[in-house]
Amino acid sequence: MNLHSSDLRQRDLASVWHPCTQMKDLERFPVLLVKSAKGVWLEDFEGKHYLDAISSWWVNVFGHGNERINQAIRQQLDLVGHVLLAGCSHEPVIRLSERLVEIAPEPLQKCFFADNGSSAIEVAMKMSFHYWQNSGKRKKTRFVNLSNSYHGETIGALSAGDVPLFKQVYEPLLLDTITAPSPDSYNREPGESALEFARRMFVYMDEILQKHHEEVSAVIVEPLVQCAGGMRMYDPEYLGMLRKACDLYGVHLIADEIAVGFGRTGSMFACEQAGIAPDFMCLSKALTGGYLPLSVVLTTDQVYDAFYAEYTGMKAFLHSHSYTGNALGCAAALATLDIFREENVIESNKNLTVEFARQTERFADHPNVADVRQRGMITAIELVRDRATNEPFPWQERRGLRVQRYGLEHGVLLRPLGDVVYFMPPYVITPEEIRMLVEVAERGIEHAVR
């Protein structure tokens, strides 16, 4: 370690409180100090390179230092960096809204911006509730979610989620949500298909809606993959059944595509694979290519119209964030959408998906691997103590963290979710880099399960 980076590390420890981190861990596992980044590679102050296998927390899609996105941000910077979006507007936010409406499922027509994923969830929840208030359905005050779901960290978004590790301690502060068992196919019985399991689990959702629909504002789900819950995946038909039930019972459907949107599951939006459109679709993370904080909630004209009235009718949605619709973020998002359109990304990603499938075949019979699962550009390997019974390792042993440490020593940035090792890289990764990545992960897993 050179003098400069050891100095930075000390100063970091003295003043920076890192997110989602037990700070005491950093005594033993120092942070990776990133000096620069290009494509899928991060470089530290010693000139060592690390493959960013998790897209810097699922945000980056076209690589770090992407020339096209950099250029778009620079150009916008010379015009206007930021201006408030109440009573003012700007070209990037107008063009971005048009483009999003164009590519989103059919009845989504209006874009409400915020500046991070959790805030988008708050917007969708408040808008749904407020829609029913404006429509005279005053009893609709509750939300239905899935077990093991994740929707962010602010109080409302945390209420909507169900990962105990993040939620439990704050329980006394949270909204009282109704939780239906997840269709996550990891939990299916031997011999049962993912589809059969999804149908079986939907019965519980249907019962909840039948019983509680008069007090339910919306059902909120992560379409197809519950990412923070351990990259758990489920059959698209669940979403089809859910859409029908929401229509039948008069309940909104909120699709949280913050992680799965923009091609992660193999289609631009995960909802497309079920052929459905939600009433609210939340986007963030890859929206700006992974450069700048920005989020958006798309909704229907039907929802929009319920707020449209004379001011004195007191029906407006009076929600805002200071950096709502930031112009630099919108410029980065437009450049990102240009790349999607012009480079046929969804189609060419299929080769990478096949390479991940081929490379991870090696784990199929591993005694400590319970499951290898894949949807589009997300591939996950679930480690267990005993494959025969799916008995997990005691969480205190932090096996996943051992894989992470091994990866860092060998030029790969991984960040397992508990004992689920996963790959969710930028789409500019090459087949050779996939092979290198999986090889390091394999050796890391051997090291961790010993």
Ligand X SMILES: *Cc1c(COP(=O)(O)O)cnc(C)c1O
Collect all residues with Cβ–Cβ distance below 8 Å to 6 and sequence separation of at least 6.
none
Collect all residues with Cβ–Cβ distance below 8 Å to 316 and sequence separation of at least 6.
307, 309
Collect all residues with Cβ–Cβ distance below 8 Å to 372 and sequence separation of at least 6.
360, 361, 363, 364, 379, 380, 381, 382
Query: Whole-number minimum distance, CB 255 to ligand X, in Å?
Result: 10
In the shown chain, the binding pattern of residues 197 to 226 toward ligand X, with x for contact by CB under 6 A and - for none, equals: -------------------------x----
Q: Does 227 bind ligand X (CB under 6 A)?
A: yes
Query: Whole-number minimum distance, CB 258 to ligand X, in Å?
Result: 4
Q: Does 417 bind ligand X (CB under 6 A)?
A: no
Q: Does 122 bind ligand X (CB under 6 A)?
A: no
- How many alpha carbons lie under 13 Å from residue 191 in its C-beta half-sphere? 0
Q: Does 113 bind ligand X (CB under 6 A)?
A: no
Query: Whole-number minimum distance, CB 294 to ligand X, in Å?
Result: 10
Query: Whole-number minimum distance, CB 8 to ligand X, in Å?
Result: 25
Which residue intervals of 213-326 are DSSP H helices? 237-249, 301-305
Residues touching ligand X: how many (CB under 6 A)? 14
Edge-to-edge strand list for the sheet holding 142-146: 108-114, 295-300, 280-283, 252-256, 216-221, 142-146, 178-180
Nearest to 224 by CA among 208, 211, 240, 235: 235
Q: Does 117 bind ligand X (CB under 6 A)?
A: yes
Q: Does 324 bind ligand X (CB under 6 A)?
A: no
Q: Does 115 bind ligand X (CB under 6 A)?
A: no
Nearest to 327 by CA among 67, 75, 41, 54: 75
CA distances (Å), origin 267, targets 2, 94, 284, 396, 447: 44, 25, 16, 37, 35
Q: Which residue in 228, 303, 332, 345 binds ligand X (CB under 6 A)?
A: 228
In the shown chain, the binding pattern of residues 284 to 323 toward ligand X, with x for contact by CB under 6 A and - for none, equals: x---------------------------------------
Q: Does 184 bind ligand X (CB under 6 A)?
A: no
Q: Which residue in 76, 116, 148, 185 binds ligand X (CB under 6 A)?
A: 116
Q: Does 146 bind ligand X (CB under 6 A)?
A: no
Query: CA–CA separation, 261 vs 257, rounded Å?
Result: 5
Q: Does 234 bind ligand X (CB under 6 A)?
A: no
- How many alpha carbons lie under 13 Å from residue 79 in its C-beta half-sphere? 14
Q: Does 160 bind ligand X (CB under 6 A)?
A: no
Q: Does 345 bind ligand X (CB under 6 A)?
A: no
User: What is the C-alpha radius of gyration for the chain, rounded to an integer number of angstroms?
Assistant: 22
The residues binding ligand X (CB under 6 A) are 116-118, 121, 150-152, 222, 227-228, 256, 258-259, 284
